[in-house]
Amino acid sequence: MTARKRVVEATRKRSAPTVQEIRVRVMHDEDPDTSYLDQDEFADRRAEYENGDFTFVGVRAEAEVVIEGVVQTLTSGGMWGVESDSKEYIEEVAVEEYAALREILTSIGVSTSQVPVGDKKMIQPLISWEA
């Protein structure tokens, strides 16, 4: 009995995902939970909100990534209900959201050189404010 040769397809080497763009978006929160403003100690803040002195926003990091030749948008979970006049806090949240997105990207094989560790100065130019 002669052995039959078996033909097996070679595994294709997959290319690593590549990042095209990263941004941190600050977007209007369409349905914020303002219930904490109903407490007596927040009466002044409630008045400011009702006067339109501030609103609520969400902060999310996004990346356009090429995976197997297809452009995908990957995002961090985001944080919503942030007071829009809290610029310093928004920047802190932006750094946290970037870090969460960085973890997602590196877990799918994006090189850490494409997604450096972010700090406040590095994140500031990535922030885009949207109405």
Inter-residue contact 53 to 16 (CB < 8 Å): no
Instruction: Give start and end residues of each alpha helix (H) in 4-51.
Output: 43-50
Tens digit of each residue's pLDDT (9 = 90 or more) over 32-61: 999 999 999 999 999 999 999 999 999 999
Report the C-alpha gap between 66 and 2 in whole angstroms.
48
Q: How far is CA 98 from CA 25, 37, 70, in A?
A: 10, 29, 22
Tens digit of each residue's pLDDT (9 = 90 or more) over 76-122: 999 999 999 999 999 999 999 999 999 999 999 999 889 989 888 88
Domain ranges of the chain: 18-129
Write down the pTM of the prediction.
0.84
